[in-house]
Structure 1
Amino acid sequence: MAIINRTPDSFYDQGKTWSEDLSTELALAQADEAIAQGAEIVDIGGVKAGPGDDVSAGEEIARVVPTIAAVHDKHPGVLISVDTWRAEVADAALAAGAGLINDTWAGYEPELIAVAGHYGAGYVCSHTGGATPRTRPHRVHYDDVVASVIAETTALAERAAAAGCAQELIYLDPTHDFGKNTFHGLELLRRVDELVATGWPVLMALSNKDFVGETLDRPVDQRVAGTLAATAWAAARGVAAFRAHEVKETVDIIRMTAAISGYVRPLATTRGLA
C-alpha cells in the first residue's frame, strides 16, 4: 500500500505532492512511480494524522477526490484507498473510484462502515484505544494491548462484513503509534502471530513511525532501516499488507521473505545453473 499524502504538513514527506491550487500532477506522478515499483494499493489522504490546522470535510474532499479520480482513470486495475475517518469524505471518494476505506481512527464516525458497505468496498479496521482523531497518546495503558487490539478490530471487522463490505478487503490494522507508546508497538510485532491467527488479513502501517524512531533513537528521516526490519519480521509471520513510503524497498523485503519461505520463486536465476 503506497502512501500519497495530499497535505502540506505530512510528518514524513512535508508536502511532497501538495500544491496550493490542489492540482493533481504531483500526486499522480507519485502514484505512477509507486505502481511501477509494485504497489498494489494506493492510499490517498488529505488530513495529517497528528495535530495541526483544522481541515473541514469539504476541504478534505477537495484535496483527495480529484486525485482519486485521476489515479483511477489512469490505473483502473489498481485498488485505491482513501485515508479518512469521515463518512462524507468516504462517500465522495468511493464515488470517484476508491475501493477501500482506511479508517485509521477506529470507527470514530460510526456511519463510515455503512458507507463502505453501501459501495461494497473494503474497510481497514483500526485500533486507537478510544483516542479522538488527530490527538497524540498520553500516558496510555492497556492490561494487554494485543488483546485490546484483537477485540476492537475484530468487532469492527464483523460489523463491516455485516454491512456489506468486501470480505476479502476487510483488514485488521493494529495501528502503531495511534493511542500507543513504543513498548506497545514492539509488543504488537512480538505477538503478531496472535493477530494473524484471527483469520482476518492483517495490515500494518509501520513506515517511519515514532515507535521505530524511539527504538533506534533516529529522527524521522533516518528510520527506513528500522522500518524494513520490522516489515521483514511481520511479513515472515503472515501480515498481508504494508502501508509504506518506500515502495520499492518494501516490495523487495516482502518478495525476499516470501522466497525464503518458499512461497514465490526467484525472479532471475542463472548462478550455477549453466
Structure 2
Amino acid sequence: MNYVGVLTKMKTENGSPIQYYLIFENDFLNVNQLLDKKVSISFLKYQCLNCSLDKKIYRQGFCYDCFFEIPQAADWIMRPELSTAHLGKEDRDLDYEKKVQLQPHIVYLANSSNVKVGVTRKNQVPTRWIDQGAHEAIEIVEVPNRYLAGITEVALKDHVGDKTNWRTMLKNEIKDENLIDWREKLKQFIPEEAMNYFIENNSETHLKFPVLQYPKKPKSLNLDKTPFFEAVLKGIKGQYLIFDDDTVFNVRSNEGYVVTLKMT
C-alpha cells in the first residue's frame, strides 16, 4: 500500500496507547497500524505549507520567503512573551494575532526527558504534551492571553528547564516526578500579573505511547541526505517514528516534504 503527500505534523488521539494519524490531501493513515511492519520513505520534492511552491523548506514547513512574512511564523510563536495583540499592536497581521493570542493559554509542567515548563493554547491540551513525548504533565496556570502565559514561562525558566532532550526522551531514560510538588515549589516565582490564575487543585495527566522497542542510540533521518529509507517501524513517540535499526524520523521537522510512504 502506497501513500503520497506532503508531510504535516501527525494528528493524535489520546488513548491507551495514543493513536497517530498522517493526514494527506485525499487520504489519511493510522500510523499505529504500521507497527512491526517494514516501511519505506521516499523524498520526492518540497511543498511550502503556505505558498505550496516547490521551494526548499527553511523552518516550520515554510520556505524562506514565507517564513519571514506570514504571521504563523512570527517570533511570538516561539517566544509568547513577545505577544502584543492584547495591546492592539500589530506584528504581521493583527486580526490573526488577536485570534491566536487572545484566547485561554496554559502554562504547564511536562516530563519528557526532564521536568520542563511550557506554554500552549488551552485547546491544545493534551496534544502539545503528546507532541513533546511527555509521559506525564500538569497545568499550573490558565491565563486569558498568550502574553501572560509567556511572561510566566520566562519567570519560571530560571528555576526549571524549558527544553526537551530528544535523545533521552526517545530512549525512555526518564524517571517519574511528582509534578504537584513541582507546581507548589514553583508557585512563588509566578509573576504577580498571573498569580490570580494559578491552578490550586488538579492532578497529573499520564500518557502512554505506542512503542514496542526503544532505540539505544537514536540517529536522526535526514531526507535531504538520505532521500530513500526503509526499516521496520517499532514505535511512535512525540512526533517521532522509531525504527528497528535505531533510526528515528521527526515528522514535524519534515513538514513541507512531499514523500511516498510504502509498507509491506
Structure with bigger helix share is 1
Work out which of the two has the higher radius of gyration on C-alpha atoms and give 1 or 2.
Answer: 2
Structure with bigger strand share is 2
TM-score, length-scaled by structure 1: 0.29
TM-score, length-scaled by structure 2: 0.30
- Tell which has more relative contact order, 1 or 2 (C-alpha 8 A, sep 6+): 2
